Chain A
Amino acid sequence: MKIGLFVPCYVNAIYPDVGIATYKLLDYLGLDVCYPVNQTCCGQPMANAGFEKEALELAMKFEKIFNQYDYIVAPSASCTAFVKYNYPSVIEDDNLPETSGKIYDVCEFIHDVVKPSKLPGRFPHKVSVHNSCHGVRELQLSSASELNIVRYSKIKNLLSMIEGIEIFEPAKVDECCGFGGMFAIEEPDVSVCMGEDKLGNHVATGAEYITGADSSCLMHLQGIAARKKSPIKFIHVVQILASGL
């Protein structure tokens, strides 16, 4: 089983440790992981802003680079969801893009495909789980609060394997943090307001860390926390899962 590791552009530049934790974890789980170095961006920022045309070339490139792998794994629910659900309309080919059927968010992949019964490591901290919109409502990493379905959270299931961790969730459990790509700069006032509210709900849990499967939401909340000089810390789920490696 060959795995292509996709490290989204902003994770590459801002959160390389998230990429490293992903690699370490997959490697620990005995998987054959390759990192194609000519990869760049999936094209989501342009498409969500209304420029699918600018995303097309990147999508074609992504398809070419990654279609040789059995699975594509990325530490970002939002980018994963874009490749999975939007590539078919971006690429508009008669054949469905292969990568759409092969891509997994790293948490989803470990939870649903690898299914380890335990993970080493201790993380004796209180964490508040950030349920990101695309993680919840597109990839279904947890049960969306609007739906009358059985309650579950793949993220909480995974985190529970780590010793010493205390897991919390904020009020308005899966409300948007206000990032939304270019939404954050096109509607700065609403975006900041949403971010401040979200941060407040996380802080109110008493957690020391905010954790989640989407570094983009964490980046947004981190920017707000830094401006407000809030002491809360940020960590990607995969970094906690790899804490014993």
Chain B
Amino acid sequence: MSTKHAKAAKRFIRNREQEQWHNETLWLVRQKRDNMAMRIPEWEELREQANRIKAHTVAELACYLEQFSSAAENNGAIVHWAKDAQEHNEIVYDILKQHQVKKLIKSKSMLTEECLLNPYLIDKGIEVVESDLGERILQLMGEHPSHIVMPAIHKKREEVGKLFEEKMDSEKDNSDPTYLTHIARKYLRKEFLTADAAMTGANFGIAQTGEVVVCTNEGNADMGTSLCKLHIVSMGIEKVIPDLKSLSVFTRLLARSATGQPSTTYTSHYRKPIEGGEMHIVIVDNGRSKIQHNFNYERILYCIRCGACMNTCPVYRRSGGYSYTYFIPGPIGINLGMLKSPKKYSDNLSACSLCYSCNNVCPVKVNLADQIYRWRQRLNLFHKASTTKKLMSKGMKFIFGHPALYGAVLKIAPIINHLPRFLVYNKLNAWGHGRELPRFAGKSFNSMWKKGKQLTINN
């Protein structure tokens, strides 16, 4: 009955030292988030407000998107609409081709990961350079992000030191973080100076003003967009919010929830192209409008990609981002994967103990755990339900459905206590892995009660 997630988690946990380090590192981020959240007396009100703004915007999404695009066009930006990943990639490539771009410098964007833009462009002969440090490390290693905010969080600095030795001629065995950052900075500067176009994602699109807001800590988005004449923004349709006043709610929540900072180091507003340049905004649907009309799951569209649900998730912390089969891991990734393709990504549904911590940290109050519970109910429809779990559920229902049978089972259950160990503890018993079975009481509550509460209970 093992899911792909359970199997991958087993491999991750086998290296217990690495698992503990990963667990504690992310827990530290959760603690930093707590420190920030507890310092703001109106924190819970802010979450509620953010939730309401998103609910309102998602309900009126078409209007706000139109408002956004016409405002952006009035500012001088060129707006494109992409119905799916393929269209998005083609639009981006066409723009690059028109401008004879050879090298594209990118800041972090999960949407371009979703669309698999990099391999698409590289295939067409364009050099693509990720400029977010974590993303760059992974790009050089040929790997994918394991976390949406801290993409290389699973890498230790020693590994990064080795990589830099090989790719950037850094000193041997020097893995001092400040040193490595300086090396990366020097190395990236060359890339910035020789790039022909810059690409960013969008944390928010402001309908009122037509501007795009990008939050980074490294200033890499600003560097790219200031040096290149051509700026392409890739933005999901759900990123639009009504106005600057509503933005002020989200900027207070985003960095505090994500990394435990009061705000990101850079919160950059892009309203129009730089002089003599062009600014393109590609607005992408790629399945989002379908979610919008699905009452059970529409709240997923409220997500501002802060990653707090991953940092708090006890399963994510102990299994790592690569144990999930969808490119976004953790509670939000389990749900996004199911919305993308329930048949393809149902293996991630097991990665949840329904502890509900994700619901509580979410700055926009997405009911992540409830949605996982709802998806589990639907697994049978896609013939993806575990047969063992189904059998167990049916068996339990049969026993519990017949009180007399249940009584009989209660009576004979203690026999299990006396079975030889090899019969009870074997490969068929997943509980026995790392745990002893509970011992059945000699007499159940039922038998004690029936024997007469005067005798057994009131004595």
Interface residues of A (CB under 8 A from B): 7, 9-17, 19-20, 23-24, 27, 35, 37-41, 43, 45-52, 54-55, 57-58, 61, 133-134, 137-138, 144-149, 172, 174-176, 178-197, 219-220, 222-224, 226-227
Contacts and interface: CB of A to CB of B under 8 A. Distances in A.
Contacts of A172: 27
A187 B433 CA distance: 11
Given A48-B354, A175-B314, A190-B13, A23 B436 contact: no
Contact of A193 (B13, B41, B359): B13
A9 B355 contact: no
A119 to B, nearest CB: 18
Contacts of B439: 14
A46 to B, nearest CB: 4
6 contacts: A40-B403, A41-B400, A180-B355, A186-B1, A187-B6, A188-B431
Contacts of A174: 357
Given A40-B400, A183-B350, A223 B435 contact: yes
A181 B314 CA distance: 15
Nearest to B319: A190
A54 B394 contact: yes
A13 B392 contact: no
Interface stretch (B114-122, B276-284, B382-390): B382-390
B376 interface: yes
Interface residues on B, range: 35 or more
Contact of A184 (B5, B34, B38, B431): B431
A227 B436 contact: yes
A174 B312 CA distance: 11
A185 B431 CA distance: 6
Given A186-B350, A187-B350, A193-B318, A223 B453 contact: no
B73 interface: no
Given A133-B356, A183-B350, 19 more contacts: A12-B446, A16-B444, A17-B441, A43-B397, A50-B349, A50-B378, A51-B390, A51-B394, A58-B397, A146-B360, A146-B361, A147-B44, A178-B314, A183-B352, A186-B1, A187-B9, A195-B435, A222-B436, A227-B434
A191 B353 contact: yes
Given A172-B27, A186-B350, A192-B434, A49 B393 contact: yes
B434 A50 contact: no
Contacts of B400: 9, 40-41, 43, 58
A172 B354 CA distance: 17
Nearest to B443: A16
Given A182-B392, A183-B350, A148 B406 contact: no
A231 B10 CA distance: 28
A104 B10 CA distance: 38
Interface in B395-453: 396-397, 399-401, 403, 406, 409-410, 413, 430-431, 433-441, 443-446, 448-450, 453
B178 interface: no
A190 B43 CA distance: 32
Contact of A182 (B315, B360, B389, B438): B389
Nearest to A10: B438
Nearest to A48: B354
B259 to A, nearest CB: 16
B389 A49 contact: yes
A20 B353 contact: no
A186 B97 CA distance: 50
Contacts of B441: 13-17
Contacts of A179: 353
Given A37-B450, A148-B38, A190-B318, A54 B357 contact: no
Contacts of B27: 172
Contacts of A13: 409-410, 413, 440-441, 444
Contact of B436 (A137, A191, A223): A223
Nearest first, the 9 A-B pairs at minimum CB distance are A180-B353, A50-B376, A192-B434, A223-B435, A146-B360, A176-B355, A226-B436, A46-B393, A19-B445
Interface string B1-44: 11101100110010000010001000100000010011011011
A194 B352 CA distance: 12
Given A50-B380, A146-B312, A188 B353 contact: no
Contact of B434 (A186, A188, A219): A188
Contacts of B430: 184-186, 188
B223 interface: no
A122 B389 CA distance: 44
Contacts of B450: 37
A55 to B, nearest CB: 7
Contact of B453 (A23, A51, A186): A23
